[in-house]
Amino acid sequence: MAAGFGAASRFVLGQEGRITVVKAPNDRPVIAIPDLRGNGAAQQHMAKFNEALWTDVESSGVLKMAPKSMYPMQVPQQPSDLRTPSSPTENLKGLALNDWYQPPASAGYLAYGYTAVTGDQIVLSGWLSATNQPSAAPLLAKRYFGPNTEEGARKVAQEFAADIMGQFGGKSLMGTKIYFVSDRTGKKEIWSMNYDGSEQKPITSYNNISSFPALSQDGTKIAFTTWREGTPQIYIHSLETGRKLVFYNQRASMNASAEFTPDGQGLLFSSTAGGGSAQIYRTDLNGGNVRRISTNRAIEVEPRVNPKTGQDIVFVSGRLGSPQLFKMSMDGTDVVQLTPGDGEAVNPSWHPDGQKIAFAWTKGFDIGNFNIFIMDVASKQYVQLTHGAGRNENPSWAPDGMHIVFSAKRGRTTQIYSMLADGTNVKQLTSAGNNEKPVWSKTALK
């Protein structure tokens, strides 16, 4: 199994060097998560609570959800509600773990619990049990606390979901952010939202065009391109204070498409400072100590640094006539062509393991539209994730290496979606205005 592509898939080499996805959903453990109930004042928030709990576990890619229509009639709220059947064939209508293990639920695991309000806090008591081990202690038994608000209910649900996923080797995305470009205010500005699409809010308010966001490895800084001063220039903001940081743009008609180095001490970007086509440069974090990396007559843009090595750069070059993906060392040497030259290949994004990239490509599979692909950089083998669903661009990996966020024009507007890295479980995250160029923070901002 290829690490990072999701526990529900394996990859084999097919014709023409392509990677073929073989989906194996039955390899995933099956879990039942009935709707939990809330006591007293907690009940008003349970719809959002149950939605968040189900969605987070379902979208993790590590578990298969038993359909709610197959559940028994009664649901335990705590271990003391569970009964032991007097015989192997006795059905206690949900109050025995074996009722959940047997058809029609056929779930190997059951998550259950309840919420209550103490003071101004919502308190979740949650358990996870293996349904084929009725006498064993629960795998998970924990209390969670949050404000008695809709957001507090979502918080404790997501913390419970994170602990459930952790039992099966999954990683929670709770606390991570997605930054993107939106025109919903009439101008393109940088926005942020939670990993599930909640709490969408603006980061910039320059009342101009701000685009191409990039994040530092530690999630504390964001770089982007803005036309505020007439020509495209790079700005850097602190995400901790919201303030603009010092960055000196070299004199050029364009400085754009920034990328932080993994150590957070430098920046790569594309610039026309050399007087011809845009080339790739590197500077210190404040814009000083400028070094030119690429030296080609063709346009070279979108440098992306390998997060593991800090030395390999994938980038987009027009040296073959149409945009294609190439790789080179940080000093501009050892240039390797990655895409074969047909179609247009753009928007590379490194997987956290530093071995794979996601990118957008028009390669003949859907004439006129970009689709999202994944490539193993060493072998150049690739797999297509989106098919026949509009124009799909700007993929960005989640820090768990199992999810991808991307923008797609499916209808009149461009919106942001997330999916598992095998192309399944697609979820729309935005709906207001047009939204594009998402980047997923590499860590949760403290």
137 shares its domain with 85: yes
Residue that has been written with the tokens 């009664």 in this structure: 74
Largest CA distance in the chain: 85
244 shares its domain with 358: yes
**Residue where a domain stops, chosen among 166, 198, 220:** 166
191 shares its domain with 123: no
Identify each DSSP E strand in 174-209 by its residue range. Answer: 177-182, 189-194, 201-202
Q: Quick one: 373 exposed, middle or buried, by C-beta within 10 A (0-12, 13-18, 19+)?
A: buried
> Is the N-terminal amide bond of 104 cis, ω within 30° of 0?
yes
For residues 439 and 178, the answer to whether their CB atoms sit within 8 Å is: yes
240 shares its domain with 322: yes
Q: Is residue 15 part of a domain?
A: no
68 shares its domain with 103: yes
370 shares its domain with 436: yes
Q: Is residue 374 part of a domain?
A: yes
Count of structural domains within the chain: 2
Q: Is residue 63 part of a domain?
A: yes
For residues 424 and 64, the answer to whether their CB atoms sit within 8 Å is: no
Which pLDDT tens digits describe the chain residue by residue (446 residues)? 222 323 333 333 333 344 333 334 458 899 999 999 999 899 999 999 999 999 999 998 899 999 999 999 999 999 999 998 887 778 889 999 999 999 999 999 999 999 999 999 999 999 999 999 888 899 999 999 999 999 999 999 999 999 999 999 988 899 899 999 999 999 999 999 999 999 999 999 999 999 999 999 999 999 999 999 999 999 999 999 999 999 999 999 999 999 999 999 999 999 999 899 999 999 999 999 999 999 999 999 999 999 999 999 999 999 999 999 999 999 999 999 999 998 999 999 999 999 999 999 998 655 668 999 999 999 999 999 998 889 999 999 999 999 999 999 999 999 999 999 999 999 999 999 999 999 999 876 44
Q: CB atoms < 10 A from the CB of 61, how many? A: 23
**Residue where a domain stops, chosen among 132, 166, 200:** 166
For residues 380 and 373, the answer to whether their CB atoms sit within 8 Å is: no
Looking up residue 61, the CATH number of its domain turns out to be 3.40.50.10070
Q: Cα–Cα distance between 301 and 288 in angstroms, integer?
A: 20
189 shares its domain with 57: no
Which residues span the domain enclosing 36?
A: 30-166
Q: Cα–Cα distance between 58 and 429 in angstroms, integer?
A: 16
The pLDDT, as a whole number, for residue 366 is 57
**Residue where a domain stops, chosen among 166, 185, 201:** 166
377 shares its domain with 320: yes
Contacts of residues 379-383 at CB distance under 8 Å and 24 or more positions apart, as own/partner, are 379/17, 380/17, 380/338, 381/13, 381/17, 381/18, 381/19, 382/17, 382/18, 382/19, 383/11, 383/18, 383/19, 383/20, 383/21
Q: Is residue 7 part of a domain?
A: no
258 shares its domain with 343: yes
For residues 393 and 434, the answer to whether their CB atoms sit within 8 Å is: no
Q: Is residue 3 part of a domain?
A: no
Q: Is residue 213 part of a domain?
A: yes
Give me the amino acid identity at 114: Y
Q: Is residue 139 part of a domain?
A: yes
210 shares its domain with 265: yes
Across the chain, how many H-helices and E-strands are there?
3, 32
Looking up residue 207, the CATH number of its domain turns out to be 2.120.10.30
56 shares its domain with 160: yes
The pLDDT, as a whole number, for residue 87 is 78
Q: CB atoms < 10 A from the CB of 388, how many? A: 8
For residues 245 and 220, the answer to whether their CB atoms sit within 8 Å is: no
420 shares its domain with 362: yes
- β-strands 9-13, 266-271: how paired? unpaired
For residues 11 and 20, the answer to whether their CB atoms sit within 8 Å is: yes
Report field, pTM of the whole predicted structure over 0.75? yes
Q: Is residue 193 part of a domain?
A: yes
